[in-house]
């Protein structure tokens, strides 16, 4: 019998924590009084078990529960259900991490390209990748295409739709993708580089399948998806069965789950197929701290059986003057995403974008030189 070892952060008094932990195990497995169960194999092989309880601060405990791998059905929705289904309704619990048995990991393909594949696509092997976002909502398709060409001519590796740009009347998906991809193709022919345009896919499964068809027809070489908005099972199936290009995962709507970001964004998004994981870096518009960001980056990149590493992409209010700091913190296997701070340059956007690219290249060279020094 194979088990997942699932870690939760539990708010409880010391006197009550054992009973609360046992209740978590019951809730995430049989959901009924254990005394009423008459089948020995259910008690032995299905009922979740408390592995350990460790203090984690005042009236807080780290609880590890063994959950039967068989109960997951080896598919995404039931896996997430068994990790944090009913418990997500209980305010005193946070899902922190899980250790998966090999058979469960093998049920999911993970990133198709991963870090090495992304580097191959943009022909950048020894430095961080650069990325930016098309903003704001409300621009027409030709206006967005003009921005695409400007960014691509400046040498930025990835130009993605902002996650708020979808299939609105002012820039319909098919029209926008055609215009933006052609603009990037023109710029690449001029510069000899390999900038990727990543349109945002969103909507119902029917709409997503149609958007995938358009992506293929237009020769698009990367896409953006928000797994929590479209649903984790849909995300995983799109990556595994319908998309053959790198996938950037956006964290929109992930904050409502009470799942620790390193596990949700770093491990689950990676397991379900994200080649790059965008996350809100510390010091920007969001409240993530340096330690949490560091743990998220490790979760995305650390060796994990046969699952390829995903490229972490710190974002959320970043600026060019923080390039050295981010490379110093995360190293070269990272994609630096700067959007609004570049667009704020106005007429100086081309120069500011080239400064961003140049700063990343110079910082990476300095980092490599420092690493070679005795």
Domain boundaries, the chain: 3-105, 114-366
For residue 91, the model assigns a pLDDT of 85
If you average pLDDT over every residue of the chain, what do you get?
Answer: 96
Q: What is the CATH architecture assignment of 114-366?
A: Alpha-Beta Barrel (3.20)
Q: How confident is the model at residue 372 (pLDDT cuts 50, 70, 90)?
A: low
pLDDT at res. 19: 97
pLDDT band at 1 (very low <50, low <70, confident <90, very high): confident
pLDDT at 47 over 60: yes
Q: What percent of the chain has pLDDT over 70?
A: 98
- Alpha-carbon span 271 to 264, nearest angstrom: 10
Residues 9-36 have pLDDT tens digits of 999 999 999 999 999 999 999 999 999 9
Does residue 367 carry a pLDDT above 80? no
> Which of 3.50.50.60, 3.40.630.30, 3.30.70.150, 3.10.105.10 would CATH assign to domain 3-105?
3.30.70.150
Angle (deg, nearest 10), helices 323-330 and 290-301 = 60
pLDDT beyond 90 at 257: no
| 61's tokens | 């405990």
Identify the pLDDT of residue 366: 84
Q: At 370, is the pLDDT very low, low, confident or very high (cuts 50, 70, 90)?
A: low
- The model's pTM is 0.96
Q: Is residue 371 very low, low, confident or very high in pLDDT (cuts 50, 70, 90)?
A: low
- pLDDT tens digits, one per residue of 280-322: 999 999 989 999 999 999 999 999 999 999 999 999 999 999 9
């Amino acid at each position: 019998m194979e088990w997942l070892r699932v870690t939760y952060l539990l708010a409880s008094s010391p006197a009550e924590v054992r009973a609360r932990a046992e209740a978590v195990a019951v809730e995430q497995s049989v959901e009924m009084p254990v005394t009423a169960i008459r089948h020995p194999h259910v008690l032995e092989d299905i009922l979740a078990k408390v592995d350990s309880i460790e203090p984690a601060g005042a009236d807080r405990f780290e609880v590890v529960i063994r959950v039967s791998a068989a109960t997951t059905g080896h598919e995404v929705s039931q896996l997430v259900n068994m990790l944090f289904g009913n418990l997500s309704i209980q305010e005193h619990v946070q899902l922190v991490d899980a250790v998966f048995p090999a058979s469960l990991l093998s049920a999911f393909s993970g990133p198709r390209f991963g870090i090495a594949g992304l580097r191959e696509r943009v022909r950048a092997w020894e430095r961080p990748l650069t990325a930016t976002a098309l903003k704001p909502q409300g621009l027409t398709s030709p206006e967005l295409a003009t921005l695409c060409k400007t960014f691509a001519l400046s040498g930025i590796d990835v130009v993605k739709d902002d996650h708020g740009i979808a299939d609105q009347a002012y820039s319909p998906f098919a029209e926008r993708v055609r215009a933006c991809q052609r603009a990037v193709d023109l710029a690449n022919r001029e510069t000899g580089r390999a900038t990727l345009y990543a349109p945002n896919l969103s909507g119902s499964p029917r709409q997503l399948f149609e958007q995938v068809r358009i992506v293929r027809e237009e020769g698009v070489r990367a896409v953006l998806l928000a797994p929590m908005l479209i649903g984790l099972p849909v995300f995983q199936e799109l990556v595994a069965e319908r998309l053959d290009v790198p996938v950037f995962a956006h964290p929109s709507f992930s904050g409502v789950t009470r799942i620790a970001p390193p596990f949700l964004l770093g491990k689950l998004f990676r397991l379900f197929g994200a080649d790059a994981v965008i996350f809100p870096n510390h010091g920007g518009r969001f409240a993530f701290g340096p330690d949490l960001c560091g743990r998220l980056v490790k979760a995305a990149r650390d060796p994990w059986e046969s699952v390829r590493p995903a490229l972490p992409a710190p974002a959320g209010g970043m600026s060019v003057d923080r390039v050295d700091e981010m490379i110093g913190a995360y190293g070269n296997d990272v994609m630096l995403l700067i959007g609004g701070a570049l667009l704020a340059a106005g007429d100086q956007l081309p120069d500011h974008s080239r400064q961003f690219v140049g700063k990343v290249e110079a910082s990476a060279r300095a980092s490599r030189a420092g690493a070679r020094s005795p």
